[in-house]
Every structure is written in C-alpha cells, then in structure tokens.
Amino acid sequence: MFTVFKYFIAIIIVIVLGVGSYIFWPRIYSPIPANFECLPVNNTTGKLLPLQLDSNNIYGIALTYPGIIYQTGSEYHSESIPPVFRKRQQAINTGSVVKYPNQQTLLDQIEKIEAGLSKTLQDEFKILPALVDYEVELGIVVLDDISRKQLADPTFSPRLGYFLANDLQSIVFGVLGLGMELESEYLDAKGSFPGFLPISKFMWIPESEKENSTLCINIQTTVNSELRQQENTKNRIYSNKESHYYRFSCGCCE
C-alpha cells in the first residue's frame, strides 16, 4: 500500500513545494535568461523550407524557462545539467489530432519500465488517468553534424533550422519516476506516446547565425480556448549551443 501511495502523495508534495519555492525562492538560485541576440525575420534574412527531422534523434530539455522552474518548484543551479529526455519516433505527429493513451496503454508502458508495478496500480486504483500536459516549444534542427570540440569553440555557430512543436506529456509518468532509479526512463516515456509530438510542416532557416543568436517569437498554448501557456523564446535560460552541449553530456545520445 505504501509503495503505491508514495507515488501519488508526491503530486501533493510537488504542488506544495512549488508554491513555497515561488514565494521564498533564494535569490542566489534565480535562473536568468541567456543573453540572446534576436534574429531578424523577413524575406531576405532566411528561408522557409519543408521540415526534415532525424526521427531517431529527437531530444528535449526540461526546465528551460525561469517561469516553469518557479512554477514547479524545481531546483536550479547554473552549473548543473538540466533534465534531458528523448522523444521516440512514434511520438511524431504531422496531423492535427492527438489520441490520448487509454488505461491499458499506460499500464503496458509502465510494465515495460518497471515489471510488476502495473498490477499493483490496477489492484489499488480503478482509474489511471493520463493527465496530459501541453506545451508549445521552439524546435531546433541541427542541419550539419557537430562535435563537442566545435561546441567548445566560442567562434563556432552551428547551422540551425527553427520550427514549432507541441510537447505533450503524461504527468502520471513524471510522478511515477520522481526521484526513482528509473526516473530517466519514465521521463522519456511520458512524452513518447503515439502522436505526442505534433510538429509544424515547415522550418525557418536563417541566412547566418551568431554564437548567441536565436529566433525570438511569442508562443502560447490554448486548450479548449483556455490559455495554458505564454512565453517568448528569448527568455530561455540556455543558449542554442549550451542545449546541444547538454544533449552530448547527458549520456542519452546514441
């Protein structure tokens, strides 16, 4: 009984810590947006092309905006690597419809990660909801192969393409993996259900990039006409080069 309830008690703990941290956040740990130089966007500074992705190498970085760190009460240290997760190929969605995973699909995925837990959950709970979270994100395509050595070069600027993606995730999986030995597997799984990564059809490629440049746009998410998220991509904490460096450093690259 305790083994099961500790997962769901964690939901309450996270909420309480989130509120407390938002109010009493130590100034020394305050996340600061990267010093971005916004790319000019017009017909002469870039081109719009059909989006092309390496479907086997899609990664996400969590906690990239100060607002979401405060909201979730997450820890932030400027020298620590942020959580990095994978989006599996089946998550890619080029349409406009997302099908929620049913309870059996959720249980099957849990069983793959942690054998025996799905039966325990079934015995204790009649319903296991997906609890889907929606977040529109700025997607970045690396157009050329890059190395760690290049990323360490302050004069190097990778060729990038920019697109929009909706990062859907099952909060239940985030709770089940919270602080656990298999946390990274739950982190990957929660956003990799079929169709959980709707993407735009095109990407914008600037004619030139600088080390600290990025596409600065206002993004927002509405669900049933209700505003759920609103941000500007210039408020990201990590530069484009830092994000790629963390992808190399997380140990999750193949």
pLDDT at 244: 87
* Spatial CB neighbours of 23, under 8 Å, sequence gap ≥ 6: none
Distance of alpha carbon 40 from alpha carbon 18, whole angstroms: 36
pLDDT of residue 22: 45
pLDDT at site 77: 86
Domains of the chain: residue spans and CATH: 2-99+132-249 (3.90.850)
Using alpha carbons, list the distances in angstroms from residue 168 to 34, 117, 160, 190. 25, 23, 23, 8
Q: What is the model's pLDDT at position 15?
A: 38
What is the enclosing helix (H) or strand (E) of 151? helix 148-151
- Pairing relationship of beta strands 132-133 and 169-170 according to DSSP bridges: antiparallel
Q: Can you say whether residue 225 is alpha, beta or left, with left for phi > 0 and alpha for psi between -120 and 50 degrees?
A: left
- What is the block-wise mean pLDDT of the chain (254 residues), using blocks of 10 residues? 43 42 54 94 93 93 90 83 93 93 96 96 92 94 91 89 96 92 95 97 95 94 88 95 82 55
Single pTM value for the model: 0.84
**CA–CA separation, 45 and 37 (whole Å):** 14
